[in-house]
Chain A
Amino acid sequence: MSILHVLGTGASIGLLFVVLELVRRKHLREKYALVWIFVSVGLIGLSLVPGLLDIAAKNIGIIYGPSLLFMVGIFALLILTIMLSVIVSHQTSRIIGLVQQLGLLENRVRKLESYKPAEKKPVDSKK
């Protein structure tokens, strides 16, 4: 196994650990972590079995193995960023809705607090 393979394997395993650690510290939700776990496991597999990439490339008519990796990688990142844009848009709508409801409620609370019901005068005034 060459130094390059060791480095590649190490980096892939490192990625998996970073993802798991982010989930553990609650910086990354499980829902969004899954895709990264699959990616890092895939990368670990490719690093451990050096011939895998070339075999896969040859089978679909790509002569140079790493270009398959680039193609798949760029495409996957593209899909992922579109998904993230969708998530951000969805969250923007939700935040707008929340801010509006908060404003409406604050307005209502302010009115209710300033509302003073006419105090009933006691029948027998001491004064």
Chain B
Amino acid sequence: MRNKLLVIVPAYNEQGSIENVVHRICAASASYDVLVINDCSKDKTAAILREMGANYIDLPLNLGIGGAMQTGYLYAINNGYDFAIQVDGDGQHDPREISKMESRMQEGDVDMVIGSRFIKKTDYNQKFMRMLGINIFSLATRFLIGQSVKDATSGFRLANRKVIEYFAYNYPSDYPEPEVLVGLSRRNLKVVEIPVKMYARESGISSINMMKSAYYMIKVFFAMVIDKIRKV
């Protein structure tokens, strides 16, 4: 019997890409159910979703990526899905890779499959900063959970029922990706990475981004350490 799979697409101000993303997911396999979480976008995302008749949830307040994804996991529980995968609304994740991740999951020895990015050509500075961040998190995961997750910030993740049930009630509201790895490891839920193609998201690096990155690193590190010492 086929496992029921839900594709959760968190979207915040993605009017330029959301329609394509949904079509690409449906084109990848007709068996995928798609659920878009419109995280109170300020642009025409909601109107586009309504127009195209997509299955979507309109959050009345902006919750951030974590709160949006958690809504998707709750939906997956309510509707009896076996697997749920996150595919970002900006189009950086390629839905054609889902089947690869699904077959890895069906081997049965893991609870979550992370699609790890091969970074495509971006300008050196950004690449360096990003690689630095990713490498630091890789070290942090090795230190905290004894497993080196090379792309701890990747949101392209396929979760099985056990992980869905955990995420539905325990998911940080911002920058959740590296943090939840600690919680999963402490519950003996197994995570594996497989390489996937990813499209680079174009964005410049400004001083505000630098500030945000610094805050991001500190906040996530703090949360990871707390998760390590929290009662399971």
Chain A interface (Cβ within 8 Å of chain B)?
92, 95-96, 99-100, 102-104, 106-107, 111
Contact = CB atoms under 8 A, between A and B. Distances in A.
B173 A96 contact: yes
A96 B172 CA distance: 11
Contacts of A102: 59-60
A104 B74 contact: yes
A99 B67 contact: yes
A111 B37 CA distance: 15
Contacts of A96: 63, 67, 70, 173
A74 B58 CA distance: 45
B55 A103 contact: no
B47 interface: no
Pick the 9 closest A-B CB pairs, nearest first: A103-B57, A100-B71, A103-B59, A107-B57, A99-B61, A96-B67, A103-B71, A99-B59, A102-B60
B71 A104 contact: yes
Given A104-B74, A104-B75, A107-B75, A99 B58 contact: no
Contacts, number: 38
Contact of B74 (A92, A95, A100): A100
B67 A106 contact: no
Contacts of A107: 55-58, 75
Contacts of A106: 57-58
A96 B37 CA distance: 14
B147 to A, nearest CB: 29
A122 B54 CA distance: 34
Interface in B54-94: 55-61, 63, 67, 70-71, 74-75, 78
Nearest to A99: B61
Contacts of A103: 37, 57-60, 71
Contacts of B63: 96, 99-100
B70 A100 contact: yes
Contacts of B74: 100, 104
A60 B56 CA distance: 65
10 contacts: A99-B59, A99-B60, A100-B67, A100-B70, A100-B74, A102-B60, A104-B71, A107-B58, A107-B75, A111-B55
